[in-house]
Amino acid sequence: MAALLKASNITMQFGGLKAVDNVDMEIQPGEIHALIGPNGAGKTTFFNVVSGIYSPTSGSVIFDGEEITKLKAYQVTAKGITRTFQNILLFENMSIVENVMVGGHTRTDSGLVGSLLRTGKSRRAERECYENAMKTLAFVGMEELADQSASGLPYGKKRILEIARALASHPKIIMLDEPAAGMNSTESEELSRIIFKIRDAGITVLLVEHDMKFVAGISDMVTVLDHGQKICEGVPQMALNGPRVIEAYLGKEEEEEEA
C-alpha cells in the first residue's frame, strides 16, 4: 500500500542549529502514528514542516501522491492535512458551533464579496457550514453544547473542540500536537475513544505526545526523534522499549523525576 504521507530527508535548520536532521517518515492510510522524543527533539518543528508553517531547508514532503513541500499552510489544509497546536487556540468569545464553523469555512466556495453582500450562494454556503459544524460536534459528542460560549468549557472539552474544528475541514490526515497534555485520566480515555473513532471514519492520525501510556495504548506505529534525528521506528512495544529510546527519552524522564 502506498504511503499517504511520505517525508524524505527532511532537514530544518535555524542558523547553526539543525532542529530536524535528515528525517524520513512514512504514514500509511488509516494509521495512528505517534511521534515522540524528549523536549527539543524536533517533533513540533517536523509538524510545522509537514503542515506548511515552515519550508524545510532540504528534503521533500509527498502527500497523497503530490509534492506539497513548498506549499503555504492554507494550501496544505486545502489538500487535506489539518492540525491542532500544543497551546489551545480557540475563539473564546464565540460559541462552540461558531468555532467549528471556522474550520469548515476552508471548504466553502463563497468569496469575500458574496459574504459581504449576503448573496444566495453565500447564504447557502453559510447554512451548509453550520450543518457541517453540527455534524462534527455530534461526531465528538458535543452537539448539545453547540450554543454555549467556548470560554465556559472545561479544559478537556476545549481540547476536543479544537479537534472538532480541525475535523470540520474534512481532512485526510489530522495532526494532533500533544492532545492529551494536561488531561486527567477520564479526559484521556474520552480522547482515546475519539481518536479511534476518527481513525475508524477513515481519517489518518499523526500525533505528538509525551504520555507514553497514552501512546502505547493508541498507536499503530511510533517514530522516535532525539536531537532532531530519527533513532527508532516501529510498533509501540518495540519502539518504546528500544535501548536508544530508553536512554534518550524514557531514561531522561526517569532521571528528572528522581532528581
pLDDT-flagged residues of the chain (< 50): 112-116, 253-259
3-state secondary structure of 130: helix
pLDDT of residue 115: 46
7 and 130 inside one domain: no
pLDDT of residue 255: 45
User: Which of 165, 200, 223 is the last residue before a domain boundary?
Assistant: 165
158 and 175 inside one domain: no
pLDDT of residue 51: 95
Tens-digit pLDDT profile for residues 69-122: 999 999 999 999 999 988 888 888 899 999 999 987 665 555 544 444 556 666
Nearest one of 187, 228, 227 to 211, comparing CA atoms: 187
d(CA 254, CA 189): 24
User: Which of 149, 165, 181 is the last residue before a domain boundary?
Assistant: 165
Q: How many domains does the chain divide into?
A: 2
pLDDT of residue 107: 56
pLDDT of residue 197: 97
pLDDT of residue 9: 97
Question: Which CATH number fits the domain that encloses residue 195?
Answer: 3.40.50.300
73 and 181 inside one domain: yes
Does residue 33 contact residue 219 with C-beta atoms inside 8 Å?
yes
Q: From residue 257, how far is each of 12, 38, 158, 182, 253 by CA, in Å?
A: 31, 14, 29, 17, 6
Q: From residue 51, how far is each of 72, 79, 148, 152, 233 by CA, in Å?
A: 8, 10, 30, 29, 21
pLDDT of residue 68: 97
134 and 216 inside one domain: no
Q: How far does CA 206 lie from the centroid of its chain?
A: 6
194 and 69 inside one domain: yes
Residue matched to cell numbers 469575500? 112
User: Which of 165, 189, 217 is the last residue before a domain boundary?
Assistant: 165
Range of the domain at 124: 92-165
d(CA 30, CA 51): 18
Vertex 104, ends 103 and 107: CA angle to 5°? Answer: 120
Strands 58-63 and 17-27: unpaired
187 and 160 inside one domain: no
103 is a domain residue = yes
Rounded percentage of the chain residues whose pLDDT exceeds 90: 71
Q: How far does CA 118 lie from the centroid of its chain?
A: 33
Question: Within a 10 A sphere around the Cβ of 201, how many other Cβ atoms?
Answer: 10
67 and 145 inside one domain: no
Does residue 31 contact residue 205 with C-beta atoms inside 8 Å?
yes
pLDDT of residue 257: 43
86 is a domain residue = no
28 and 151 inside one domain: no
3-state secondary structure 165-190: HHHCCCCCEEEEECCCCCCCHHHHHH
pTM given for the model: 0.86
